[in-house]
Structure 1
Amino acid sequence: MTNGWTSPSGDDGRAPTPQYGQPGPPQWGPGAPPYPGGFAPPMSPKPGVIPLRPLTLSDIFEGSIATIRGNPGATIGFALILGLIVTVPVAAAMVVVAQIPTTSQGVGVGLTVLVAYGGKFIWAFGDLLLTGMLMVVLSEAVLGRRMAIGAAWARFRPRFWALIGLTLLITLAVALSILLLVLLIVLIYATLGSTAAIIVGVLAGIGWFLTLAFSFIRLSLAAPALVLERIGPIPACKRSWALSRHQFWRILGISLLAAVVVGFIGGILSAVITFGTEAIAMTATSGTAVLTTTLLVSTVAGTLISALTAPFQAHVTGLLYLDQRIRKEALDVTLIAAADPKASVSR
């Protein structure tokens, strides 16, 4: 048996057979009915970073931190590699833009800011990719097992392109929604004038933002489902939508609280780095050079900060997925059997 939390079937479609005396892998298909009344039995086992029962807020946060502490190479390492993939092209683009001769300094400043915030936009969708990558580490941590970055990558690699497809699918959907919103405003402006376009634009923008936020929460469990259940991007979106049904406010609240924690820690680290950034920027000779230097240092520093904080947010999302599987499909019974094949739980 490989040192990992495998799916119900191997690449050839046959169920893997655990070695004698070794726990078998959990089955990721639909589970048994939930506990009557939604209550778990007392004395829930805890072979790894979380107790195997419906999770509380403290369970989720403590489990996220414990996973990072137990697997720093695989968690922070994954985040750092992904951060470098995003940051290096953005930093190079900033340097190139700074060398472009322009007739107006404002044009150079505008291009530099555009490149910087374009990188931040890419990072937002990189978080989705990171969540899926770290699920293989989290899936082992809940059973009390650790993973090196090499083993984690070997487990995740077969799902890499499917996760890229999911990321592109969601990115395309967001881009299409923005395009439709802009076309609507332009159409209103062309037919009814600027006043109507402003009114419709504000109302449509608010509706677009609320719809986007609602959809992001309902689809936030898609990456864990895609990686662990070995399904495609569209089935993963449907799976997330089903698991998050009647759980929108719980998932939203915990996700927002995790974002606040990450933002607070990141803000402290950023404040420390800012002093050094300002000292470096003061050596530049022009306004564009000052801005370029500041944004360049901030982008690199932001990558390091994200490598330390992003795994926490990703693990919170992963544990929310496991929590919904436990609540709705009795996944804890499967996990208990995977951790200890002699254990049994009666529903």
Structure 2
Amino acid sequence: MLALSLGLAVVAQAGSLLVNLLVKGKTGEATQTLRMLAGLPLELLLNVFATALLTIVVSRAVLGRSATAGEAWRDARPRLLQLLGLTLLTVLLGPGVVLLGFTPLIGYTLAGQGSVAIAGLLTLVGLLTVPVAVWLWMRFSLAAPALMLEKQGVLTALSRSRRLVRGAWWRVFGINLLGHVLALVVAMVVVVPFQFLGLLLGFESLDAQGLPDTADQGVAMLLLLAVAGIIAGTFTTPFIAAVGVLVYIDQRIRREALDIELARAAGLPEQSGTGWGAQGDPAPARR
């Protein structure tokens, strides 16, 4: 997993570095926004590859089996286009709902109307769509593992995710939220020391608020941050992928007794009275 993530992180940071060098503060305050928008296609594509390959690796690890990069690629390749379509759908679904909610406010503002009360009401309507977007994101969060591991189509995978998350939304949300927070903390722990090192070496200046000036970073600082990004991505990418797959497997165990199928697939003998592959303790339990 680390080897696959390292390769993906190198490609991601190389693309990000190229974008940063091309933009490099030439657009003033819009520099950061342009960097993010320009890097989105590559980030989305790499996310699809990471999800596909690491899902195969984690699913085999659950059975106690290893998988090489070549084996993971052979298993994942037939589903890549479907996974790309599914990823685009789920990524755009949340922002689309929020944009739809704020459309009346945008139209009202463009019309030149000046009622503060109406603008505030329309803002509230738009904000109410944010929880809906989060709810939809989590409702379909298990669609990618379902597509990869069950060989399902896009719509069927979305339906599978909906059924698996039903009644366990808060558990799935809490685990995913905690996983992303931990990944963010790890990334910050890695990146922040590199940024301070760049400041100490004079690679980066401070803005008027005393914060690192990210609008116009030098080449040396961009290279230093790219190295930090590679290190952080190598560890956070497989972690996030593993969280998604393991939540999917956990929900199937809870709903569909998948543990019995996994035991059979792992070749564990059935032992009546002690469960699949359980090792009975011949000594009596002490109290």
Smaller-chain TM-score bracket: 0.7 to 0.9
Aligned residues: CA RMSD: 3.1
In structure 2, relative to structure 1, the CA distance for the partners of 1:185 and 1:323 (3 Å cut) is same
Task: Give the distance between the partners of 1:200 and 1:300, measured in 2 at CA.
Answer: 46
**Structure-1 residue corresponding to 2:64:** 144
In structure 2, relative to structure 1, the CA distance for the partners of 1:274 and 1:336 (3 Å cut) is same
Spell out, residue by residue over 1:216-269, the C-alpha distance to the aligned partner (whole angstroms, 9 max, x if none).
Answer: 111110110000011112211111011000001111111122222222222211
**Structure-1 residue corresponding to 2:270:** 343
- Range with greater deviation from structure 2 (186-195 or 262-271): 186-195
Task: Give the distance between the partners of 1:209 and 1:126, measured in 2 at CA.
Answer: 26
**Structure-1 residue corresponding to 2:16:** 90
- The alpha-carbon deviation at position 332 of structure 1 amounts to 1.0
**Structure-2 residue corresponding to 1:185:** 105
Structure 1 length as normaliser, TM-score?
Answer: 0.66
Matched, 1:166 2:86: yes
8 A contact 1:78–1:149 mirrored in 2: yes
In structure 2, relative to structure 1, the CA distance for the partners of 1:344 and 1:161 (3 Å cut) is farther
Q: How do 1:158-307 and structure 2 match up within 5 A?
A: 158-189=78-109, 190=111, 192-193=113-114, 195-196=116-117, 198-279=119-200, 282=203, 289-290=216-217, 294=221, 297-299=224-226, 301-307=228-234
Spell out, residue by residue over 1:30-69, the C-alpha distance to the aligned partner (whole angstroms, 9 max, x if none).
Answer: xxxxxxxxxxxxxxxxxxxxxxxxxxxxxxxxxxxxxxxx
Matched, 1:112 2:31: yes
Spell out, residue by residue over 1:107-128, the C-alpha distance to the aligned partner (whole angstroms, 9 max, x if none).
Answer: x232321133336766478556
Q: How do 1:37-56 and structure 2 match up within 5 A?
A: none
Spell out, residue by residue over 1:265-284, the C-alpha distance to the aligned partner (whole angstroms, 9 max, x if none).
Answer: 22211222112332455378
8 A contact 2:5–2:50 mirrored in 1: yes
Spell out, residue by residue over 1:171-204, the C-alpha distance to the aligned partner (whole angstroms, 9 max, x if none).
Answer: 3334533442443212233275352464135313
In structure 2, relative to structure 1, the CA distance for the partners of 1:308 and 1:270 (3 Å cut) is same
Spell out, residue by residue over 1:119-167, the C-alpha distance to the aligned partner (whole angstroms, 9 max, x if none).
Answer: 6766478556533331111111111111111211111111111111111
- Range with greater deviation from structure 2 (208-217 or 300-309): 300-309
In structure 2, relative to structure 1, the CA distance for the partners of 1:192 and 1:292 (3 Å cut) is farther
- Range with greater deviation from structure 2 (210-219 or 114-123): 114-123
Structure 2 length as normaliser, TM-score?
Answer: 0.79
8 A contact 2:144–2:157 mirrored in 1: yes
Percent same amino acid at aligned positions?
31
In structure 2, relative to structure 1, the CA distance for the partners of 1:93 and 1:262 (3 Å cut) is closer
Which residue of 295, 313, 318 corresponds with 2:245? 318
| Structure 1 residues without counterparts, runs of 5 or longer | 1-74, 101-107
8 A contact 2:93–2:133 mirrored in 1: no
- The alpha-carbon deviation at position 344 of structure 1 amounts to 5.9
Spell out, residue by residue over 1:51-88, the C-alpha distance to the aligned partner (whole angstroms, 9 max, x if none).
Answer: xxxxxxxxxxxxxxxxxxxxxxxx12333333344433
Task: Give the distance between the partners of 2:230 and 2:55, measured in 1 at CA.
Answer: 21
In structure 2, relative to structure 1, the CA distance for the partners of 1:195 and 1:124 (3 Å cut) is farther
Task: Give the distance between the partners of 1:117 and 1:280, measured in 2 at CA.
Answer: 26
Task: Give the distance between the partners of 2:170 and 2:183, measured in 1 at CA.
Answer: 20
8 A contact 2:139–2:165 mirrored in 1: yes
8 A contact 1:80–1:303 mirrored in 2: yes
In structure 2, relative to structure 1, the CA distance for the partners of 1:212 and 1:178 (3 Å cut) is closer
Count the aligned residue pairs: 265
